[in-house]
Amino acid sequence: MELIKTEMTPKERAAAYARGERVDRIPCTLTAGETSSPLFGIDISDYYFSSELMVEVESRLVEETDADNLGMGLGLRTIAEALGTKMSYSKHDVAKVDVPVFKSPHDVDGRELVDIHKDGRIPIMLEAFKVLKEKYGDERKIGTGSAGPLTIAGNSIGTTKLLKAMIKDPEGAKKLINFCADVAIKVAKDLWDEYGISFSFAEPLASKNLLSKEMFDEFCLPYLQKCITAVSSWQGGCSLHICGETKDRWDDVVNMGISGFWIDNCESLGELKGLYGDRISITGNIPPVDVVLYGTPEDINESVKNILLEASDNPRGFCLCPGCTTPVGTSLDNMKAIMNAAATYGRGAVKGQLPEGLKGYC
Ligand SMILES: [Zn+2]
């Protein structure tokens, strides 16, 4: 599949869109990093341990898709691994938690925070960030996304154990989650100071599918809030992704002061826009499995068109993106089809208005 050529660099597009000017196409990000390495003949387990392979995958994604985002994600497990969680790696799938580092929430007593130059795979990623910055820094903003404090805590002690601790030892659980918030903030600050890498959070454990609203209020909100406030203070904003159902906690999430909310495809962009579109930018939410992974180019066109009709006129801005991580096995053609649909239906986008590319469809 041929990629439709666009005129602006991602940096130009982001700046002009933020100023309220018309841009060549709607901002569009692909959440593909390690999950796409097999497309370029690289085993995922090799990718994780080689800065050269990370740079190669990111460079190929730039060349082949021209998506607006650039930079490896720390993802859900990198910080927990840097704390000492043992991971299992396989050639064709993302890493999984093998042995969590903590046996008890109280193991965090006296623990040092993470050192980005020493711990886990972060030094390898740092090297790759440095090269990407030299290679693309003029044209592209480099960013990363990481698990929020609750998810880091889950991957540091085991999710079941964390959920049990919330019932049996709530103060211990809070101490652990607060420690993970401090770790995340330090990593974000150090990456920012070192290479100007911007940070966003994903907190899948904060979903209604896993945590009641009461538990969310007690064990997630204060610690995630602390992270959002800290990171926003140097970046000027911080966005958040939560998988699954979230609607019953949107009010709290928006009140944390996030700049953008990336929601799952099971939630409605239109509803989020109607309720909070004057306060936050919205990112989403092409169905990752049914459309991004298994869809035909026609399915992708239809999905992108409908999403843009629903929410691309969000007053505080919109970014097209899959509803979660781009799944392993997604073809390059499907990624190109997403970018082409963004260039077609999202052509001539302005914040707060439907793009010119939707004329005749609305
Ligand atoms: Zn997700």
Ligand 1 center from residue 109 Cα (angstroms): 31
For 210-281, where are the alpha helices, taking DSSP H only? 213-219, 221-235, 250-255, 269-276
Residue 362: per-residue pLDDT: 82
Using CB atoms within 10 A of its CB, is residue 272 exposed (0-12), middle (13-18) or buried (19+)?
buried
Burial track 158-194 (b if 16+ CB lie within 10 A, e otherwise): bbebbbebbeeeeebbbbbbbbbbbbbbbbbbbbeee
What pTM, to 2 d.p., does this model score? 0.96
Ligand 1 center from residue 262 Cα (angstroms): 9
Ligand 1 center from residue 312 Cα (angstroms): 20
Tell me the C-alpha distance between 229 and 359, whole Å: 39
Tell me the C-alpha distance between 202 and 204, whole Å: 6
Ligand 1 center from residue 207 Cα (angstroms): 9
Residue 72: per-residue pLDDT: 96
φ, ψ (nearest 5 deg) of residue 241: -120, 135
Ligand 1 center from residue 359 Cα (angstroms): 31
Ligand 1 center from residue 70 Cα (angstroms): 18
Ligand 1 center from residue 134 Cα (angstroms): 30
For the chain, where are the alpha helices, taking DSSP H only? 10-18, 44-47, 51-65, 78-83, 122-136, 149-157, 159-168, 170-195, 213-219, 221-235, 250-255, 269-276, 297-311, 332-345
Residue 191: per-residue pLDDT: 97
Ligand 1 center from residue 242 Cα (angstroms): 6
Ligand 1 center from residue 7 Cα (angstroms): 30
Ligand 1 center from residue 360 Cα (angstroms): 33
Residue 22: per-residue pLDDT: 98
Per-10-residue mean pLDDT, the chain, length 362: 96 98 98 92 97 98 96 97 97 95 98 98 98 96 97 98 98 98 98 96 97 98 98 98 97 98 97 98 97 98 98 98 95 98 98 97 86
